[in-house]
Structure 1
Amino acid sequence: MISLDVALGERAYPIHVGPGLLADTARWREAIRGRHVLVVSNETVAPLYLARVEAGLRGHVHASLVLPDGEAHKTLATCARVFDALAALGANRDATILALGGGVIGDLAGFAAACWMRGIDFVQMPTTLLAMVDSSVGGKTGVNLPAGKNLVGAFHQPRAVIADTSTLATLPEREYRAGLAEVVKYGAIGDAAFFAWLERHADALNARDDAVLAEAIAASCRHKAGVVARDEHEQGERALLNFGHTFGHALETATGYGNLLHGEAVAIGMVLAARLSAERGHASHDDARRLARLLAAFGLPTAAPAADPERLLALMQLDKKNLGGRLRLILWHGIGAAAIVPDVDAAAIRGVLAAA
């Protein structure tokens, strides 16, 4: 097992990465401070792992809520079901939610925890690679609206992150590869050596080699934990973690939630951001092609699906990073160096979208 901390003063919390952690009840029970516990999971994950978690809750007043699977269900209506379950449990301010699932469950359950009685504890138990290296760390929670992704949310840090890598054995191939997009992102925006390491170990990662995978997950979590500790509420550096996401979120919304997995949309978005950076003279076209080659080596899409460029641009203009109605994107200066670029010309974005 590999353990590290997100250093937020009195609100610091551990990230544990390793096999068999869901069964290691002593490891995660220490994060539960009150009597009431609600486990929130989905129809895919619950049959595999819910009983294992419930067995560790003896002595607690607990209940479980199993939700439909998929991004299309990350809504306010689904969140209301979590509130109803908390009310039925009699959950007070010392209650804890355990988020057992991928990024959708983590975002949704975390948002419900942020809202219930103005904030209760929750523990992230990610079961997808994407959630382990990205959404479970950092306290971003939220739900989608028809107008856009994650437009309603809150910063609410978990009490702990329990990443049981054994759960990745049951992860479908497409979802596993989607998680690798976020791993690539960390190298692309801030660690050229890690990016090169990923190029050398692409075959081992595709084969889900245990040792190589654990190293990739730990490196990704260390990078994100460091950024979150320095900029919890995304006032500066943390925005760099959204490289590719403004394009990606627009693609997810325009194509209908669930048709593109989040990691797939981010992969395409990173390629588009790299191309736009090259078109603006910030980076080389060679680096953009190198990024596309690595993503393709992981079986990820690098070309955008058919979508109206004007519709995509309108969705991008709703992005939370924009200020004063002006487009603000995360672009880069080549592999390992990203930057926040304010007031990006809409015509240049439109050109890249049309070419894609």
Structure 2
Amino acid sequence: MNHLINSNVRNLEISGIRKFFNLVANKEDVLSLTIGQPDFHTPDHVKEAAKRSIDQNLTTYTHNAGIPTLRYAIADFCNQKYNIKYDPDNEIIVTVGASQAIDITLRTIIQTGDEVILPGPVYPGYEPLIRLAGGIPIYVDTRENGFKLTSDLIRKHMTKRTKCVILPYPSNPTGITLTREELQAIATELQEEDVFILADEIYSELVYEQEHVSIGTFSEIREKTIIINGVSKSHSMTGWRIGFLLAPEWLTKHILKVHQYNVSCASSISQYAALEALTNGLHDSNIMKENYLERRDYVYQRLKRLDIEVIKPDGAFYFFIKLPNTKTSFELAVELVNNAKLALVPGDAFSSFGQGYLRLSYAYSLETLQKGMDRLEQYLEGK
């Protein structure tokens, strides 16, 4: 009865990341630098707020868009941090993680045959959601452009069927972000186009030498822009599953309909935890960012000494590296596991434009990273 399954679902592939994880799961003594989540615990004051919400029986359904106090906290947080202004009553939706925010946005704006432009390599979660909504992903090769999706590249890939441009920055898997000037050029390019901009800014609190600039600051494209963010990376709350979506009121009211029938509302307990994170934990990410910066610089120095092709990441906690070899990313990753007891994510999990690359996460202790780099160095010396 397989033919009865929705063809959009039937044709989806299991994530290349998951395939690799399954393959190496039972390998012994393998040091993994694969995980894309903070290695810090959720702050204690946030956990205590969640416990209080349970004790106070705040465990019922909430407003579909999220508890009002949290939406006001999100508005204040985004205004204070990124100078973007959204009405908490009508322009903010609390979601079940950033992934659900992306899903309900695409299901709201995409119709069958619409094209969605996105950079390659890129986080593998976008393409399946585009296809499930009936859209067609149009990957843009950014490898010769410092892994940046710029206005010039967008222009070259625009057609009459283009409905949306996805801007994930800082990027998973490259850690590259966009500057104010680059964002201004994109805003100017798309200002007169009937095209949505979906900006995934989930790593906004983990940007190092420069400030994070939200594309929501450009008034000329505000009416066509959707900002995605959340507390997973900023407050080490991946399992709490709280994201948020900011968009103009005319658009949010339609996205909210999809959200309502999809999940009703995000977990009440997690919402109260997020409320604490965004009010009393406004700067909780600073200690994490300081640690990640130290780790990034350490790994970068080791990689450069090994003459490995790499672009220094601006944020997040990933390196996207290219080793001298003739193997596919998957074959190389398996060889590293077998011969060096080191697990890195195959680059082709992030689209075909990641072929030949590997993603290395530095969301690990310096001690673990040192061991991992030692194993990589020994592997290369043995080649």
More relative contact order, 1 or 2 (CA 8 Å, 6+ apart): 2
Q: Which has the higher helix share?
A: 1
Please report the TM-score for the alignment, with normalisation by the length of structure 2. 0.32
Please report the TM-score for the alignment, with normalisation by the length of structure 1. 0.33
